[in-house]
Amino acid sequence: MHKADAAIAVRPGEEIDPVAIKDFLQKNIKGLKGDISITQFPSGYSNLTYQIDMGGEKLVLRKPPIGANIKSGHDMGREYKVLKALYPVFAYCPEPLAFTQDTSIIGTPFFIMEKLSGIILRRNLPQGVSFSNSQANNLCHTLIDLLADIHMIDVKKAGLDFIGKPSGYVTRQVQGWINRYRNAATPDAPDCEEVMAWLIKKMPKDTDHPTIVHNDYKFDNVVLDPIHPEKIIGVLDWEMATYGDPLMDLGNSLAYWVEENDPDDMQAIRSMPTNIPGAMTRRQMLDLYEKRTGRSTQPFDFYYCFGLFRLAAIAQQIYYRYFHKITQNKRFAMLIFAVIGLEKTALKVIESSDL
């Protein structure tokens, strides 16, 4: 038997009141009765995610992390609204069930959604899960096909045009992540100034075909069928979804994509099993995306380098909370090495680029 993505005991300091949650659920979800238990999904570095078991039903609760700026990257109301708009038009979206802005219940806003039960891939394949070369290739193919499907959603027709403004998108992303990185600087972090200067210099013009951008599309944000794990049954974590250049989305995704023959700097920060036999290379993923969408992926050096820098900035923001003892989660201590490795990789991209 494979081991599906399992919730465990809640980490100390991240507990939520089961009595308050039970009362909220009974008031907001019809027919929900019985005893309640709350566990926590241990992986992930952003919003905190809990499993709620109540009356034979399994639900998911999402809330901001401790010490986060709730008004920016952890807006529960926005993520809930995105899910409400997506659910009728995108079959892989979990159903949103309830939301509250009332911080008196557990201290932060939160929302409840359905639980999609299946396999979520982390750094290595879970016990009991294996892929033949052809299955691994098929899974990669499905991953890109589904990203292309996301990029083909009619944003305005779905009522999703509130999520962002395509005009100036690339500029805002580059400047925004530069500011976030600098604001999260710690004495032990690289300055990344050479990378930032190159990104500013090489920014492409706005795309003439903007799409919805998931902004964190990767293996550990998709749910795999527990019986046929090469099939994807759900896409999670829409908290950063916006409206802009789809190649930025692809670049962000491939920044996570560590191949079997990548150097040690990248192997050390691999967070998903993208290196298994049969898995596509980044180049193959790009070619497939081009074939599926009819879009050129050039100049991809920029998009890939941006994805690496953005990932470094995300890791640095989380590490900043650990460095300043805002959170005690010891997993965050190692993120500084990810930041260093990502900067090195971005510099290699710049050195070899003909842009």
DSSP 8-class letter at 97? E
What DSSP string runs through 275-325? TSTTPPPHHHHHHHHHHHH-----SHHHHHHHHHHHHHHHHHHHHHHHHTT
Greater confidence (217 vs 355) lies with 217
Q: What are phi and psi of 95, to 5 degrees?
A: -75, 125
- Which tokens in the block code for residue 239? 């908290």
Contact present, 223 and 236 (Cβ < 8 Å): yes
Contact present, 335 and 315 (Cβ < 8 Å): yes
How far is C-alpha 294 from the chain's CA centre? 25
Q: What angle do CA 180, 181, 186 make, to 5 degrees?
A: 120
What confidence tier does 1 reach under pLDDT thresholds 50, 70, 90? Answer: very low
pLDDT value of residue 74: 66
**What type of residue sits at position 185?**
A
User: What domains appear along the chain, each with residue ranges and CATH number?
Assistant: 18-114 (3.30.200.20), 133-352 (3.90.1200.10)
DSSP 8-class letter at 207? P
What confidence tier does 280 reach under pLDDT thresholds 50, 70, 90? Answer: very high
pLDDT value of residue 323: 94
Mean pLDDT of the chain: 93
Contact present, 97 and 32 (Cβ < 8 Å): no
pLDDT value of residue 353: 96
What confidence tier does 67 reach under pLDDT thresholds 50, 70, 90? Answer: low
Q: What angle do CA 274, 328, 73 make, to 5 degrees?
A: 60
Greater confidence (242 vs 47) lies with 242
* End-to-end CA separation in angstroms for the chain: 49
Contact present, 142 and 231 (Cβ < 8 Å): yes
Contact present, 219 and 272 (Cβ < 8 Å): yes
Say if residue 45's pLDDT is above 80.
no
Rounded-to-integer distance, Cα 221 and Cα 241, Å: 13
Q: What is the pTM of this model?
A: 0.91
Helical spans, DSSP H, in the chain: 18-28, 76-86, 133-151, 169-183, 193-201, 246-255, 264-267, 282-293, 300-323, 335-352
67-81, 148-162, 228-242, 330-344: least confidently modelled range: 67-81
- Which tokens in the block code for residue 332? 């965050």
Contact present, 144 and 279 (Cβ < 8 Å): no
Greater confidence (61 vs 4) lies with 61
Say if residue 70's pLDDT is above 60.
no
